Amino acid sequence: MRLFQLERIGEPPRLTETACPVPAAGEVRVRIAACGLNFADLLTIEGRYQERPTLPATLGMELAGTVEALGEG
């Protein structure tokens, strides 16, 4: 799967490839059809959002797609 990943605060995110994750309990895996990078994502890149993610972090808080796998529960 491909994802925009933020590796360091203040640097542009990189498009990276990784294996598809298996959802854990209470999680779902979504095949994303569309994703927007919004103002909160831009603030996260700059380190100015109210929450700081654990790096590396995957960007994209807004998405539309199809659930393709479910974890337990």
Each residue's pLDDT, cut to its tens digit, for the chain (73 residues) gives 888 899 999 999 999 999 999 999 999 999 999 999 899 999 999 999 999 999 999 988 899 999 999 999 8
Q: How many domains does the chain have?
A: 1
36-56 per-residue burial string, b: 16 or more CB within 10 A, e: under 16: eeeeebeebbeeeeeeeeeee
CA terminus-to-terminus distance, the chain = 24
Q: Provide the 8-state DSSP code for 8.
A: S
Secondary structure class of 38 (helix, strand, coil) = coil
CA distance 69 to 1: 14
The whole domain housing 32 covers 2-70
Q: Residue 62's domain is classified under what CATH number? A: 3.90.180.10
